[in-house]
Amino acid sequence: MMNTRKIKPIVGTYINVSTLSLLSLSCFSEEKKPMNILFIMSDDHSYQTISAYDNRYIETPNIDRISDEGMRFTKGFVANSISGPSRACVMTGKHSHVNGFMDNSDQFDGSQQTFPQLLQKAGYETAVIGKWHLGTDPIGFDYWKILIGQGDYYNTPFIDNGKRVKSSGYATNVTTDIALEWLGSRDKKAKPFCLMLHHKAPHRTWMPDTVDLSLYKDAVFPIPANFYDNYEGRVAAQNQKMSIDKDMDLIYDLKLADKENEIHSDSKGLENAGRRMYTRLNPAQKAAWDRHYDRVIEKFKKANLSGKALAEWKYQQYMKDYLRVITSVDRNIGRVLDYLEENKLSENTVVVYTSDQGFYMGEHGWFDKRFMYEESFRTPLLIRMPNGKNGDCDQLVQNIDFAPTFLDIAGVKVPKDMHGESLLPLLKGKKAKKWRKGLYYHYYEHPSEHSVNKHYGVRTDRYKLIYFYGDVDAWELYDLKNDPSEMNNIYGQVGTEKITKELFSELERLEKQYNSPKIR
């Protein structure tokens, strides 16, 4: 299941720029090139579906190139497992309660301190392309071309430096095309770049590119051992609405919009939205779509499934579409890596691959994210830094660390008020004696879609303490060594007093450090 790592060095001519002064950036000699930063982030990409982490489901040879030639973080986490908040944490290096973007209904105050603004001031050329999801217009970018909200998988509009424009084709291809065009159009000698290439994929509703529809057609994926979790001892897990069995919609999520109009959703809204999705496609896309899904629909009708058989059919269908979408992400990352190589940029470009959070691939019976449980709290994180150390890093790292890391790589002083830590020492393979012992997490979006209660907590290397509040009042404690799937809430059990006390004091320490809201 978990992959052992292959290690392959890349040849680099990296010169340490951590002592670089701001002034010197613009007058660099050819030999002392500052590092470019290519920050690739997908939306909802689970670490379970990257073969560098886990080979049960899919091969992702291109994403694996970043891992093989760089560092694989095995304990990368987010601070608030949902898109907008996660992105705000990335931009500011600060937790949600300080950057002000707590849930997806917020609007980002882009005038506050962010790493792109600081890099821009230091002489970097900055760009963001693809998903943005922060509500307000990007600030601190020389170029921006972003999706509107979630964007669409097909023929999606973009906002190009303030102007709405159309696109034609599949979003992951189009977003990559725009990024390659931007890279190609730059005066390469002028400035180092920081490019945020942020894919919409593989966000719900997991619409594959037409060229990938026949992939995994006959595959049967292993059902997670806790697919039929009954959530005993975990009240918030009982309240959620993200079950593949109960909440995944046949028409909207699983694309069973039949021409005969015989299949219906429990929710009229989702059914209509599911049928509307198809209308975005152009005639050629519709033809390819129909060739594939009409057969799926026909078979589905004949099978007349119910109960567990229906739940498992939904799981298989979900996995197939999700993995098809990932295949396209992986292929497009290959295009970008090839471009860097062909243009001799690999040797002075740091490449990061991550997601805005993790995702459930049927664990606990779920899709979606939000919970502080491992699958959604953790996120993939692979970083290839020329002349950096190859291998695994098992330290606790979090998305608030990106901003200080990028600044550090650029030789820009990291502002003291950032909550995150620079990963540069870890990337150089330095022994981080004083690395953090605990991670703070806080999720606020409730009541809302998928019905996940508000909660916060602390995770150490081995344990996790969570407090669910608002409509509920419940503590959970997990021993991740003995119970990695978090099925057994041991909070309050005899024998856990000492560890509970330790976790409690680590939580209080973090709350103090981050000046977190007082809840209890």
Nearer CB in complex with ligand SGN: 202/386: 202
| Range in contact with ligand SGN (rule: CB under 6 A) among 189-197, 198-206, 314-322, 384-392 | 198-206
Residue 422: which of ligand SGN, Ca ion, none does it interact with, CB under 5 to 8 A by kind? Answer: none
Nearer CB in complex with ligand SGN: 44/271: 44
To ligand SGN, the closest distance from the beta carbon of 357 in angstroms equals 7
To ligand SGN, the closest distance from the beta carbon of 374 in angstroms equals 17
Instruction: Name which of residues 232 to 271 contact Ca ion (CB under 5 A).
Output: none
To ligand SGN, the closest distance from the beta carbon of 199 in angstroms equals 12
Instruction: Name which of residues 435 to 464 contact ligand SGN (CB under 6 A).
Output: 449-450
How far apart are the C-alpha atoms of 323 and 315, rounded to whole Å? 12
Instruction: Name which of residues 75 to 114 contact ligand SGN (CB under 6 A).
Output: 82-83, 104
Nearer CB in complex with ligand SGN: 206/289: 206
CB 316 within 8 A of CB 221: yes
| Range in contact with ligand SGN (rule: CB under 6 A) among 193-201, 202-210, 282-290, 467-475 | 202-210
Nearer CB in complex with Ca ion: 83/327: 83
Amino acid at 494: V
CB 372 within 8 A of CB 388: no
Instruction: Name which of residues 52 to 91 contact Ca ion (CB under 5 A).
Output: 83
CB 498 within 8 A of CB 489: no
DSSP string for 301-347: HHH---HHHHHHHHHHHHHHHHHHHHHHHHHHHHHHHHHHHHTT-GG
* 247 interacts with ligand SGN by CB under 6 A: no
Closest CA to 32 of 19, 45, 47, 14: 14
Q: Which residues pair with 160 in a beta bridge?
A: 145, 163
Residue 205: which of ligand SGN, Ca ion, none does it interact with, CB under 5 to 8 A by kind? Answer: ligand SGN
Note the Cα 342 to chain centre separation in Å.
Answer: 28
Q: Which residues pair with 143 in a beta bridge?
A: 127
Residue 204: which of Ca ion, ligand SGN, none does it interact with, CB under 5 to 8 A by kind? Answer: ligand SGN
CB 38 within 8 A of CB 345: no
Residue written as token pair 């006959």: 218
Nearer CB in complex with ligand SGN: 43/363: 43
Instruction: Name which of residues 132 to 151 contact ligand SGN (CB under 6 A).
Output: 150
* 275 interacts with ligand SGN by CB under 6 A: no
Closest CA to 113 of 355, 354, 407, 383: 407
Residue written as token pair 């502002």: 415
Instruction: Name which of residues 346 to 365 contact Ca ion (CB under 5 A).
Output: 356
Amino acid at 43: D
How far apart are the C-alpha atoms of 464 and 479, rounded to whole Å? 7
How far apart are the C-alpha atoms of 114 and 110, rounded to whole Å? 8
* 44 interacts with ligand SGN by CB under 6 A: yes
Instruction: Name which of residues 185 to 204 contact Ca ion (CB under 5 A).
Output: none
- Tell me the backbone φ, ψ of residue 273, rounded to 5 degrees: -60, -40
Residue 104: which of Ca ion, ligand SGN, none does it interact with, CB under 5 to 8 A by kind? Answer: ligand SGN
- Tell me the backbone φ, ψ of residue 262, rounded to 5 degrees: -100, -25
How far apart are the C-alpha atoms of 225 and 233, rounded to whole Å? 18
| Range in contact with ligand SGN (rule: CB under 6 A) among 47-55, 122-130, 201-209, 388-396 | 201-209
To ligand SGN, the closest distance from the beta carbon of 358 in angstroms equals 11
Residues 6+ apart with CB under 8 A from 33: 13, 15, 192, 348
Among 17, 39, 43, 92, binds Ca ion (CB under 5 A): 43
* 403 interacts with ligand SGN by CB under 6 A: no
CB half-sphere exposure, 390, CA atoms < 13 A: 17
Residue written as token pair 């078979």: 299
* 368 interacts with ligand SGN by CB under 6 A: yes
Among 156, 172, 176, 205, binds ligand SGN (CB under 6 A): 205
* 232 interacts with ligand SGN by CB under 6 A: no
Residue 449: which of ligand SGN, Ca ion, none does it interact with, CB under 5 to 8 A by kind? Answer: ligand SGN
DSSP string for 52-78: TTB-SS---HHHHHHHHTSEEESSEE-
To ligand SGN, the closest distance from the beta carbon of 233 in angstroms equals 25
* 486 interacts with ligand SGN by CB under 6 A: no
How far apart are the C-alpha atoms of 46 and 18, rounded to whole Å? 32
* 375 interacts with ligand SGN by CB under 6 A: no
Nearer CB in complex with ligand SGN: 317/348: 317
Among 43, 258, 486, 506, binds ligand SGN (CB under 6 A): 43
Site residues, ligand SGN (CB under 6 A):
43-44, 82-83, 104, 150, 203-205, 368, 449-450
Site residues, Ca ion (CB under 5 A):
43-44, 83, 356
